[in-house]
């Protein structure tokens, strides 16, 4: 995965080592590399602190995100904002993004191909933000970035250690809305995240 690549291999697209965050974002907002763009109203790029220690990755924009052009602003997003506040972090302190930047039709899960085509954007975000802690929100981000056969229910809450990076898979906030029993495990996961950020 991209956090292990030293030095980074040639990008799938043009070499972007010298690109700034603003430059990458501008390019991403014009992306038409896959058919998802035809079915959505806009590309939803990451938001927050582009040099934050904590980066969170979800699945993809939903209806509200597609409308407003910002990740995690619908019901699940508002819950994420409250979870972050509980560990004294504002949305502006962290960097929040998604594995795909365009809303899949009817909020279906992005396909492995769609995730792959979109991955260079996440890669660039990761390269520019250089987080110390990466939180994977839900099964799609976990499977897409760590282990396609992984099980979020089994693997959440356990640190995955990489060079200069700690990765924490946890439940997606939308899963918490469907099943409040997931709140306690997620709370525990974010306690670990808070501790890691302070160490
Ligand atoms: N769910 C996600 O995975 N991402 C968003 O941006 C919103 C909801
Ligand atoms: N299903 C779950 O139970 N949790 C997630 O985070 C994603 C899918």
To the nearest 10°, report the CA torsion of 139, 165, 96, 185: 50
* Residue 155 in domain: yes
Q: How far is the CA of 49 from the centre of ligand 1 (A)?
A: 18
Ligand 1, residue 59: give the atom nearest the CA. 3
* Residue 158 in domain: yes
Q: What is the pLDDT at residue 18?
A: 77
Q: Does the CB atom of residue 171 touch ligand 2 within 6 A? A: yes
Q: How far is the CA of 44 from the centre of ligand 1 (A)?
A: 10
* Residue 27 in domain: yes
Q: Does the CB atom of residue 55 touch ligand 1 within 6 A? A: no
Candidate from 41, 45, 65, 178 with most ligand 1 atoms within 8 A of CB, to mutate: 65
Distance of alpha carbon 33 from alpha carbon 22, whole angstroms: 19
* Residue 4 in domain: no
* Residue 192 in domain: yes
Q: Does the CB atom of residue 141 touch ligand 2 within 6 A? A: no
Asked if pLDDT for residue 159 goes beyond 80, the answer is: yes
* Beta-strand pair 54-58/133-137: parallel
* Residue 5 in domain: no
pLDDT digits (tens, 9 = 90+) for 123-158: 999 999 999 999 999 999 999 999 999 999 999 999
* Residue 125 in domain: yes
Portion of the chain with pLDDT greater than 90, in percent: 89
* Residue 2 in domain: no
Specify the number of domains making up the chain: 1
Q: Does the CB atom of residue 144 touch ligand 1 within 6 A? A: no
- Looking at residues 59-78, what average pLDDT do you find? 98
pLDDT digits (tens, 9 = 90+) for 3-23: 665 444 444 444 456 789 999
pTM of the model: 0.91
For residue 126, the domain's CATH number is 3.40.470.10
- Looking at residues 91-111, what average pLDDT do you find? 98
Sign of the alpha-carbon torsion through 119, 84, 53, 43: positive
Domain containing 31: what range?
10-198
pLDDT band of residue 85 (cuts 50, 70, 90) is very high
Cα Rg, the chain, nearest whole Å: 16
């Amino acid at each position: 995965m991209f956090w292990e690549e030293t030095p980074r291999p040639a990008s799938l697209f043009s070499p972007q080592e010298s690109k700034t965050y603003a430059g990458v974002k501008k390019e991403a907002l014009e992306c038409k590399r896959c058919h998802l763009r035809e079915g959505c109203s806009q590309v939803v790029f990451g938001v927050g602190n582009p040099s934050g220690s904590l980066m969170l990755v979800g699945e993809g924009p939903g209806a509200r995100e597609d409308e407003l052009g910002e990740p995690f602003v619908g019901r699940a997003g508002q819950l994420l904002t409250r979870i972050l506040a509980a560990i004294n972090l504002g949305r502006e302190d962290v960097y929040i993004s998604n594995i795909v930047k365009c809303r899949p039709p009817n909020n279906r899960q992005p396909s492995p191909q769609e995730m792959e085509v979109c991955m260079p954007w996440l890669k660039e975000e990761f390269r520019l933000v250089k987080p110390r802690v990466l939180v994977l929100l839900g099964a799609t981000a976990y499977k897409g970035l760590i282990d396609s056969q992984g099980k979020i229910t089994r693997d959440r809450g356990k640190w995955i250690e990489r060079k200069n990076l700690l990765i924490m898979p946890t439940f997606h906030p939308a899963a918490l809305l469907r099943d409040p029993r997931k709140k306690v495990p997620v709370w525990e996961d974010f306690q670990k995240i808070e501790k890691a950020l302070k160490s």
